[in-house]
């Protein structure tokens, strides 16, 4: 039954994210149930399901449930768009769709999901490493570089907490490169970041700012490498 679930999930992803132009989305947001593109969207989902299920007529009831429920869920989402945050609305919408897919899959057999893998030592070690690389490293860096404070001229123009999340993504990428043994990619990442921050490094007061950025970058990369090497060491002995 996992195969069936993956097929209808792929049909959903294709219908919702690949074959749905921005024009359709914008029109649905304005006209809601009066939008002709809502029904074109449902027709695309129907077509994707029929193709992925290889025109197998035995799944007709499941396909009908998926398509009709998709229309209802989308309408609920459209009517809630002005009442709740659009990000929450988006994820609630997708969660509802996936729950319907799981229900339809269960109609044609037993769909068993085991959570035993979560409690395996290597999985716990991996999750621990990810947390250390992302959030623990951020706290360590904040403590270590708290002795310096750079007042940037256009600080108000930057996104809230952007530096924190850039650092987290940067360290996660380094972690991924190391456990995949792709050390050369770390150099490309550092080079790319240097190019993107060139304007910062060429401004007035550039010496202090340059030193501050270099310390932060090298510290971030060093922590990522440290935790990644520790992960690689322990994963071999557990």
Instruction: Give per-residue pLDDT as tens, 144-172.
Output: 887 776 665 555 556 677 778 888 999 99
Q: Report how many domains make up the chain.
A: 2
Confidence band, pLDDT 50/70/90 cuts, at residue 210: confident
The whole-angstrom separation of Cα 175 and Cα 160 is 25
Task: List the domain range (segments joined by +) for residue 216.
Answer: 116-237
DSSP letter, residue 156: G
Which of 107, 140, 158 is a domain's end point?
107
Q: Say what the pLDDT of residue 198 is.
A: 58
| Whether residues 156 and 102 fall in one domain | no
Write the pLDDT tens digit of every residue in 93-141.
999 999 999 999 999 987 666 667 667 888 899 999 999 999 999 999 8
Query: Ranked by mean pLDDT, which of 5-14, 152-161, 205-214 comes out on top?
Result: 5-14
Reported as a pLDDT band with limits 50, 70 and 90, residue 214 is confident
pLDDT tens, 48-87?
A: 999 999 999 999 999 999 999 999 999 999 999 989 999 9
Rounded CA-CA distance 196/144 in Å is 24
Shared domain check, 186 and 151: yes
* Same-domain status, 103 and 120: no
What contacts 133, CB < 8 A, 6 or more positions away?
Answer: 171, 172, 174, 175, 223, 224, 227, 228
Q: pTM of the prediction?
A: 0.70
- Average per-residue pLDDT in the chain? 88
40 versus 155: the higher-pLDDT residue is 40
Q: What is the pLDDT of residue 204?
A: 46
Alpha carbons 104 and 100: distance in angstroms, whole number: 6
Answer yes or no: do 19 and 77 share one domain.
Answer: yes
> What confidence tier does 142 reach under pLDDT thresholds 50, 70, 90?
confident
> First CA to last CA across the chain, in angstroms?
33
d(CA 26, CA 78): 11
Structure-token match 């679930």, residue found: 5
Q: 89 and 159, same structural domain?
A: no
Separation CA 43–CA 74 (nearest Å): 14
Cα 17 to Cα 60: distance, rounded to the nearest angstrom: 23
CB atoms near residue 30 (< 10 Å): 9
- 219 shares a domain with 127: yes
Pair (87, 131) in one structural domain:
no
Pick the last residue of a domain from 89, 107, 125. 107
* pLDDT over 70 percentage in the chain: 87
Show which of 44, 77, 107 is a domain's final residue: 107
The per-residue pLDDT for 216 is: 86
Look-up of token digits 């932060």: 216
Q: How confident is the model at residue 197 (pLDDT cuts 50, 70, 90)?
A: low
What is residue 14's predicted lDDT score, i.e. its pLDDT? 96
Residue 51: how many other CB atoms lie within 10 Å: 13
Write down the pLDDT at residue 148. 75
Q: Closest by alpha carbon to 152, among 77, 83, 66, 216? A: 216
Same domain, 138 and 233: yes
**Spatial separation of the C-alpha atoms in residues 238 and 229, rounded to whole Å:** 15
Whether residue 90 has pLDDT greater than 70? yes
Q: Check: CB of residue 69 under 8 Å from CB of residue 26.
A: no
Closest CA to 24 of 39, 6, 9: 39
Residues 132 and 203 reside in one and the same domain: yes
């Amino acid at each position: 039954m996992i195969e069936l679930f993956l097929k209808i999930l792929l049909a959903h992803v294709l219908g919702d994210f690949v074959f749905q132009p921005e024009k359709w989305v914008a029109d649905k947001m304005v006209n809601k149930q009066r939008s002709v593109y809502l029904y074109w969207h449902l027709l695309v989902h129907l077509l994707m399901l029929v193709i992925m299920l290889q025109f197998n007529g035995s799944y007709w009831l499941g396909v009908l449930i998926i398509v009709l429920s998709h229309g209802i869920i989308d309408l609920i989402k459209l009517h809630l768009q002005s009442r709740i945050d659009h990000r929450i609305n988006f994820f609630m919408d997708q969660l509802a769709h996936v729950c319907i897919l799981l229900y339809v899959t269960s109609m044609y057999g037993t769909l068993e999901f085991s959570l035993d893998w979560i409690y395996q030592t290597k999985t716990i070690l991996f999750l621990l490493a990810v947390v250390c690389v992302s959030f623990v490293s951020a706290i360590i860096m904040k403590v270590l570089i708290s002795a310096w404070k750079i007042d940037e001229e256009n600080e108000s123009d930057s996104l809230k907490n952007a530096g924190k999340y850039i650092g987290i993504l940067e360290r996660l990428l380094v972690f991924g490169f190391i456990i995949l043994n792709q050390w050369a990619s770390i150099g490309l990442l550092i080079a790319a970041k240097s190019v993107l921050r060139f304007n910062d490094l060429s401004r007035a007061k550039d010496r202090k700012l340059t030193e501050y950025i270099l310390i932060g970058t090298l510290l971030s990369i060093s922590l990522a490498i440290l935790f990644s090497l520790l992960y690689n060491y322990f994963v071999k002995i557990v």
